[in-house]
């Protein structure tokens, strides 16, 4: 699962790195044609399916329990909010200090837009786009709405909670289609992309009900998912079908295997890591797992790194020397250590601090597994 998180985050990074490489090419007078081996923005769709699965799977101790909603919400806030607020605040500060950074991205923010961004409330920008101050936060506006709906159903059994969630998401989508002029938040939340959370939730229920697939069947699912994404259009008419279903196949391949103990990264002794057992494949898997742990930091922080490296290459003249594709590889490569460092030094300490404040009675073991 962590390896799939790493893949999803890297897909988004490559998508944005190609945009930065195109800017480099334009400024240096070189040619750059983006390559679409995969629809790179579909990394978000993989994240949404993973989120649906993880929440249903890891909330097992909470269904029908007193205080379940409060504990769930506390852990989700602790997991997502601190780093996002920090990044949004940094973006706001940079934008106020250097307004050129916000050119073409909705203009200078006002108080209402800033508050809406911090509160995960969809609001239209002056140019009409429904995006928060820090554009990548659009996915978190969906995530938070999903968590709110799921929390309502936590008083039920797992089956009941999943049934409520799927029904509620479907009603939201239908409401956005039925109303002639839905308000901005409903128009945003009613995008069929939200049903990708339902796909993941269904996988979580299937696993809880005991469904396990043999390795050949899971390999076939993974191959079908990758082929589906590779064959999908880069700008699909219905994202749920073109990207969401292949994403669900990939997640199914990752989660419907045999049971393994759930061990959080900070609880994993060094000698028990895959790499410690030897072999280059084990090292690759261990690296993917570590990057998966840092996938949220990678997702949120990579635009800062990409833009900083782009400007550094331009100002030093290395952009012309390297060329756009070599520059792209360098930009992507440098996002990885930045994300791993931010995960260890900033994200994990902040998450633990906020969790202790919001859920002081909680046990050391998190209710929801690490990651986005």
Residue 76's CB is within 10 A of a number of other CB atoms, namely 21
Residue bearing tokens 């240096």 = 28
pLDDT greater at residue 266 or residue 18: 18
Q: Is the confidence at residue 79, as pLDDT, over 60?
A: yes
* Residue 205 tokens, joined: 């229920």
User: CA dist 52 to 44, 56, 142, 201, 292, Å?
Assistant: 13, 6, 12, 4, 17
Using a 10 angstrom Cβ sphere, with 0-12 exposed, 13-18 middle and 19 or more buried, the burial of residue 226 is middle
Highest mean pLDDT among 131-135, 193-197, 318-322: 193-197
Percent of the chain predicted with pLDDT > 90: 68
Q: What pLDDT is stored for residue 102 in this prediction? A: 57
CA distance 41 to 298: 15
Q: Is the confidence at residue 87, as pLDDT, over 50?
A: yes
289 located within any domain: no
Q: Is the confidence at residue 351, as pLDDT, over 70?
A: yes
pLDDT bracket for residue 265 (50, 70, 90): very low
Residue 207's CB is within 10 A of a number of other CB atoms, namely 18
Percent of the chain predicted with pLDDT > 70: 88
Using a 10 angstrom Cβ sphere, with 0-12 exposed, 13-18 middle and 19 or more buried, the burial of residue 116 is buried
Tell me how many domains the chain contains.
1
Q: What pLDDT is stored for residue 101 in this prediction? A: 59
Q: Is the confidence at residue 360, as pLDDT, over 90?
A: no
Query: Quick check: helix, strand or coil at residue 130?
Result: strand
Q: What pLDDT is stored for residue 363 in this prediction? A: 46
210 located within any domain: yes
Q: What pLDDT is stored for residue 73 in this prediction? A: 93
Task: Check if the beta carbon of residue 116 is closer than 8 Å to that of residue 122.
Answer: yes
CA distance 324 to 24: 6
HSE-up (13 A, CA, CB side) for residue 149: 26
pLDDT bracket for residue 316 (50, 70, 90): very high
CA distance 358 to 47: 25
157 located within any domain: yes
CA distance 211 to 232: 28
CA distance 344 to 68: 29
For the ranges 197-201, 209-213, 287-291, the lowest mean pLDDT is seen at 287-291
Q: Is the confidence at residue 33, as pLDDT, over 70?
A: yes
214 located within any domain: yes
291 located within any domain: no
267 located within any domain: no
35 located within any domain: yes
140-155 pLDDT, tens digit each: 999 999 999 999 999 8
265 located within any domain: no
Q: Is the confidence at residue 221, as pLDDT, over 90?
A: yes
Domain carrying residue 28: 2-258+298-358
Using a 10 angstrom Cβ sphere, with 0-12 exposed, 13-18 middle and 19 or more buried, the burial of residue 189 is buried
Task: Check if the beta carbon of residue 151 is closer than 8 Å to that of residue 72.
Answer: yes
Q: What pLDDT is stored for residue 237 in this prediction? A: 87
């Amino acid at each position: 699962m962590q390896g799939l998180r790493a893949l999803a985050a890297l897909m988004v990074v490559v998508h944005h790195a190609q945009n930065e490489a195109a800017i480099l090419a334009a400024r240096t007078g070189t040619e750059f044609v983006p390559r679409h081996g995969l629809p790179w923005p579909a990394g978000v769709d993989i994240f949404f399916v993973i989120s649906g699965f993880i929440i249903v799977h890891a909330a097992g101790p909470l269904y029908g329990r007193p205080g379940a909603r409060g504990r769930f919400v506390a852990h989700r806030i602790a997991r997502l909010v601190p780093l996002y607020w920090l990044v949004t605040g940094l973006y706001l500060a940079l934008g106020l200090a250097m307004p050129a950074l916000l050119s073409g991205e909705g203009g200078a923010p006002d108080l209402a837009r800033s508050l809406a961004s911090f509160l995960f409330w969809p609001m239209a920008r002056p140019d009409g786009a429904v995006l928060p101050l820090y554009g990548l936060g659009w996915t978190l506006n969906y995530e938070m709405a999903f968590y709110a709906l799921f929390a309502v159903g936590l008083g039920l059994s797992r089956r009941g909670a999943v049934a409520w969630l799927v029904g509620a998401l479907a009603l939201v989508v239908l409401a956005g289609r039925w109303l002639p002029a839905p308000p901005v938040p409903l128009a945003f939340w009613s995008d069929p992309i939200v049903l990708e959370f339902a796909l993941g939730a269904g996988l979580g229920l299937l696993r809880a009900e005991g469904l396990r697939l043999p390795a050949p069947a899971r390999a076939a699912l993974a191959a079908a998912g990758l082929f589906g994404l590779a064959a999908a259009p880069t700008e699909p008419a219905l994202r749920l079908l073109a990207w969401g279903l292949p994403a669900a196949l990939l997640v199914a391949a990752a989660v419907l295997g045999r049971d393994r103990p759930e061990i959080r990264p900070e609880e994993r002794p060094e000698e028990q890591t895959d790499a410690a057992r030897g072999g280059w494949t084990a090292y690759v898997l261990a690296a993917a797992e570590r990057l998966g742990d840092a996938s949220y930091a990678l997702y949120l922080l990579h635009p800062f790194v990409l833009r900083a490296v782009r400007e550094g290459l331009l100002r030093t003249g290395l952009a012309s020397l390297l060329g756009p594709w070599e520059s792209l590889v360098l930009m992507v490569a440098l996002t990885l250590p930045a994300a791993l460092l931010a995960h260890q030094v900033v994200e994990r300490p902040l998450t633990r601090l906020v969790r202790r404040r919001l859920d002081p009675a909680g046990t050391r073991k998190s209710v929801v597994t690490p990651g986005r």
